[in-house]
């Protein structure tokens, strides 16, 4: 089969499409004929530092949509030809290839109304946003959220999901992306480059602050965001925990929530891992009903993936890029 191969950590810009053997589905696994793969910053980040569980050449690509091509022993809920999507295990070979293998209990069925490309755009960013909102935050107690980076993957899905939950949504984005982020559901968008985010948030909330912040930008951004929270506020951090040593104990009574989506493959049991399927089912249903956008902006070939990863690393990409393999 054809696959985009990483021959050594750090060499992701030099990856090329080469021939390798088709993998085999073991017990509890599915062999997937890959049709589309969603691109994410985690691809180039892990490719830069490598992973101790990898052997080389390695295949990147966590978000895979395709068709069940073969079934391992012990699998009864799936059949050949089923259309599926999944968030893969970072420690194993991924989906930048014609075929890949995954655990049967973590895949979601793609509705007929959803294309392979739209489905592949969801998992890493979408499940992260879903986990932040529906697994970490007590949404019934929250009225107003600040979601950083609304033009990006996690931020864009979080904006949509928060608005679908009936919340007031404030987001940050560069000026050129304001209308786009508002089209996703944001009520207010702050230009983090030209405006004082803290002043604008306090102005919008009449000095109270927001009930929750979802931060996928950086540790420093998460730290700065603690000053924007109202009493009993929550911060969900994805790119580094905030330093809250400057906040006196027993004052604002803040709560901190860590997101580590892919870690469930290493540290969770089967029941915990099955939540990947449940989140996927929920988001795909919303997409099939026309209530959720995949934010798909570009479809490219496998050969074009290294250049697209470079653009992702420069942080100038709006929405989602998907590799089409079929």
Query: Does residue 326 have a pLDDT over 90?
Result: no
Peptide linkage before 120 cis (omega within 30 of 0): no
**Pairwise CA distance, residues 326 & 321, whole Å:** 16
Bridge-based pairing of strands 168-172 and 188-190 is parallel
Residues 6+ apart with CB under 8 A from 319: 151, 153, 156, 295, 296, 297, 298
pLDDT band at 40 (very low <50, low <70, confident <90, very high): very high
pLDDT for res 316: 72
- Per residue in 228-278, pLDDT tens? 999 999 999 999 999 999 999 899 999 999 999 999 999 999 999 999 999
pLDDT for res 225: 95
Give me the count of residues in the chain. Answer: 326
Q: What is the mean pLDDT of the chain?
A: 96
**What residues pair up with 102 in beta bridges, in sequence order?**
30
Domain ranges of the chain: 2-121+291-324, 125-259
pLDDT for res 201: 97
As a whole-number percent, the residues of the chain with pLDDT over 70 amount to 100
Find, among 240, 264, 266, 281, the residue nearest to 122 by Cα. 281
Pick the CATH number of 125-259 from 3.40.1080.10, 3.40.50.450, 3.40.50.720, 1.20.140.10: 3.40.50.720
Q: What is the mean pLDDT of residues 157-166?
A: 98
pLDDT band at 320 (very low <50, low <70, confident <90, very high): very high
| Both tokens assigned to 189 | 């968008």
Q: Cβ(128)–Cβ(259) under 8 Å?
A: yes
**Pairwise CA distance, residues 136 & 138, whole Å:** 7
Pick the CATH number of 2-121+291-324 from 3.40.630.30, 3.30.930.10, 3.20.20.140, 3.90.180.10: 3.90.180.10
Q: What is the mean pLDDT of residues 48-61?
A: 96
- Per residue in 110-120, pLDDT tens? 999 999 999 99
Instruction: Give the least confident one: 22-26, 125-129, 179-183, 243-247.
Output: 243-247
Can you say whether the dihedral through the CA atoms of 141, 144, 149, 154 is positive or negative? positive
**Pairwise CA distance, residues 29 & 198, whole Å:** 48
Q: Cβ(93)–Cβ(46) under 8 Å?
A: no
């Amino acid at each position: 089969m054809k696959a985009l191969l990483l021959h050594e950590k750090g060499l992701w810009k030099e990856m090329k499409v080469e021939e390798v053997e088709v993998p085999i589905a073991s017990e509890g696994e599915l062999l997937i004929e890959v049709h589309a793969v969603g691109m994410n910053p985690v691809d180039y980040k892990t490719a830069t530092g490598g992973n101790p569980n990898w052997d080389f050449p390695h295949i990147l690509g966590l978000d895979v949509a395709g068709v069940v091509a073969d079934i391992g022993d012990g699998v009864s809920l799936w059949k050949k030809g089923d259309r599926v999507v999944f968030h893969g295990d970072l420690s194993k070979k991924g989906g930048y290839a014609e075929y890949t293998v995954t655990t049967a209990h973590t895949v979601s069925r793609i509705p007929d109304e959803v294309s392979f490309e739209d489905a592949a755009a969801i998992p890493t960013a979408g499940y992260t946003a879903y986990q932040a909102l529906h697994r970490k935050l007590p949404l019934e107690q929250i009225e107003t959220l600040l979601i950083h980076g609304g033009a990006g993957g996690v931020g864009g899905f979080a904006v949509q999901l928060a608005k679908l939950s009936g919340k007031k949504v404030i987001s940050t984005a560069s000026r050129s992306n304001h209308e786009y982020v508002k089209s996703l559901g944001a009520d207010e968008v702050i230009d983090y480059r030209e405006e004082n985010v803290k002043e604008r948030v306090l102005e919008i909330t009449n000095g109270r602050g927001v009930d929750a912040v979802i931060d996928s930008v950086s540790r420093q951004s998460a730290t700065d965001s603690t000053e924007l929270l109202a009493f009993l506020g929550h911060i969900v951090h994805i790119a580094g925990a905030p330093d809250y040593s400057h906040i006196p104990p027993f004052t604002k009574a803040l709560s901190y929530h860590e997101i580590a989506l892919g870690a469930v493959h290493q540290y969770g049991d089967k029941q915990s891992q099955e939540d990947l399927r449940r989140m996927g089912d929920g988001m795909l249903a919303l997409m099939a009903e026309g209530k959720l956008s995949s934010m798909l902006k570009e479809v490219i070939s496998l050969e074009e993936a290294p250049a697209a990863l470079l653009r992702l690393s420069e942080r100038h990409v709006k929405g989602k890029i998907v590799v089409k393999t079929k």
